[in-house]
Amino acid sequence: MINVEVLNAEQKKAVLDPHRFLRIVAGAGSGKTRVLTMRIAHLVEDLHVPAYKILAITFTNKAANEMKDRLRKLMNHDEQPWISTIHSLCVRILREDITSMGWPRNFTVLDSDDQKSILRAAYKEFGYSTSSIPYASALDYIANCKYADIQPDRAALLANGLRGEEDKAKIYAYYLERQNALYALDFDDLILWTVRMFHRFPQITEKWQKRFCSIHVDEFQDIDKKQYELIRLLTGENNNLYVVGDPDQTIYTWRGADVNIILNFMHDFPQAETIMLNQNYRSTMNILKGANAVIRHNRHRLEKELFTNRISEEKIIHHASLSDQLEAAWVADKILEEHRTGKAYKDMAILYRSNYLSRSLEKGLLDARIPYIIYGGIRFYERQEVKDALCYMRMALSADDLALQRIINKPRRGIGEKTMDKLAAQARKEGRSMYMVMRDEKLFTGKVQRELDHLTAMVEHWRKLVQEKRTSVEDLFTIIMEESGYQKELQDNHEQDRLENLKALIDDMLDFTHNNPESTLEEYLQLVALYGNREEVMSQDYVQLMTVHAAKGLEFDTVFVTDMNEGIFPNERALNDSVKGLEEERRLAYVAFTRARNKLYITEAGGFSFILQRVRTPSRFIEEIDADCIMHDEPPKETRSSPWINDFPAAMDALACTMLHKGDRVRHTKFGEGIIISCKENIATIAFAYPYGVKNIAANHPSLIRIDNQKS
């Protein structure tokens, strides 16, 4: 029996409630993961529901792994429920049934680099540049067309003669053509194709409905309409549906999340029961009162009020500085003060609305010699050497064109663009992959052909090892890295960091095969392609800097929410957007505040903002916090505005006097010492030492300090 006596009354009800449809509205820090896992364990251990009949959908691999770990501790059964991200679920469904759509089961899953590789080829063919059509813009266009089920001919018609839209439509047509040729699906396709297949083939839908009897969805506030459609199709007429989420934490509408889905759940399922989890176990009372006071101003929400038994005299601290530099210095001083009392740096976080806001904060931390990291830097699986190595592994499995294009000249083999263009043209002409053409035909002479033959021989050897199924994933990787010469090139170039990443990749493979002894190379590469969230392993003590969006799901003892100014947080776009945009910003503030366990600092800066092109004013969210739970620490009103406001023209004249000139030596907070090559229209072109090279930086940028006035 599952021990539910450790739960509060509402949590217990959420675990034991027998209703077929349940909506659990779980506030921040209310123990939703605990409730969700105990609900699943209750079904298996107490109600004897077969574990394999239970599906739990999460939105990150980290959340899925956490849920699996908790269930292993709660349950006595060897058999585990089906717990996965929604994209992983779709891959498994499609691997089993995509042949009904005329595609092979071993289709390729495109990651972001693969997508950009296709775009590069399209841009080259049509003569487009990223300056006129950025990759992000093209990918957004493609995703939107797919979401709306708009085919290329229709997209061209809708362009209505507009040059930019016609160009995007041509890119879209090329992209789909390459996808079909490669039998490749991107992340958006995984859900869209599954939904499309379920609608076309009711017998397949029914098969998967019968596969499960109880479906659980975590972070339900973050789902979009297509994801919801998939969930409803899987639920069907007979399955139970249990959803957990918090509408007050819907902060991803820009990614398609629709807060109305969780708000209108009772309309879609009139027989459903709603249970509120309002007791917070994370934050102190004053922090919660502040968060509640802000979110209460939103009209489009479910009424709930978080409470806690964690009583503290510590109030929320609001600090107003005269400038962003002084704001950063104050934050740094407070961090040092906290650290001197014994608090670890890693227990403190600085949150901001947008990435560009980190500049002054980083400078303040550097000046104070405080160690820090930007949370969510380059992800492990997105590092160049890791991508290269995994593409080599893909060659051993499927030898797809995108993998070939990435590794064919790594290490350098003297194979240039003309060779690749000829291979690609011949492959399109014959309707085959580039690798098959390279293997079966002699299109070149001399050194180029010898290199291609050598590469082909190696790939065929690796493919034979895979087919024989006698070589482990990690051993195969070691063989490929040695035989290909990739590892040796890194060693010869003394690329120690990259070599360490390859070692870490081997550790990853070892962990995978240990946990999944019967698994294959295909399954490992599938997992890697879907893995989108890097867990931050802090081996050292750092303050963590991140956007509020990145902080979702995290918590810290002390939190600084910085740059709380109108136009910044809430941002300018939201202020120009009606009520909907402002309410999302307020939900974002709610998420930011509730990351703090014991101390919450809110800071803002005065003075003129060049980005906003106006004087900074305090965020309305500060004013919305109840007076009894916040303490204001600000300069006198008469000096609050700073000289930048009182004498802006004079300030601009002073700034002009400090302009840099050709030949000046400068020091940059990140790039070190450099020399001004040129200075035009307030933009300094500066030569820095290796590895930074030449950079273009605003001549008045606070990160720059002139060392002397000597001319070279």
For 148-168, give the DSSP string.
TT--HHHHHHHHTT-HHHHHH
**From edge to edge, which strands make up the β-sheet containing 240-245?**
82-85, 54-58, 214-217, 240-245, 21-26, 273-277
Q: In sequence order, which residues have a C-beta less than 8 Å from that of residue 518 and are 6 or more positions away?
A: none
Structure tokens at 33: 């993961």
For 528-589, give the DSSP string.
HHH--------SS--EEEEEHHHHTT--EEEEEE---BTBBTTBHHHHTSHHHHHHHHHHHH
DSSP state of 98: G
Q: How far is CA 28 from the centre of its chain?
A: 20
Place of tokens 């009372």: 285
Place of tokens 């072109």: 685
Contact 602, 316 (CB under 8 A): yes
Q: How far apart are CA 454 and CA 409, in angstroms?
A: 12
**From edge to edge, which strands make up the β-sheet containing 704-708?**
694-698, 683-688, 672-680, 665-668, 704-708
Beta strands 108-109 and 348-352, pairing class: unpaired
Place of tokens 């085919």: 151
Compute the Cα dihedral for 446, 449, 452, 456 and give only its sign: negative
CB-count burial class (<10 Å; 0-12, 13-18, 19+) for 576:
exposed
Q: Helices 446-468 and 473-484 sit at what angle, rounded to 10 degrees?
A: 170
Q: Which sequence positions are flagged as catalytic?
A: 32-33, 218-219, 249, 595
Alpha-carbon Rg of the chain, whole angstroms?
Answer: 28
Compute the Cα dihedral for 507, 509, 510, 515 and give only its sign: positive
Look at residues 698, 704, 706 and name the one whose alpha carbon lies nearest to residue 664.
Answer: 706
Look at residues 275, 228, 219 and name the one whose alpha carbon lies nearest to residue 250.
Answer: 219
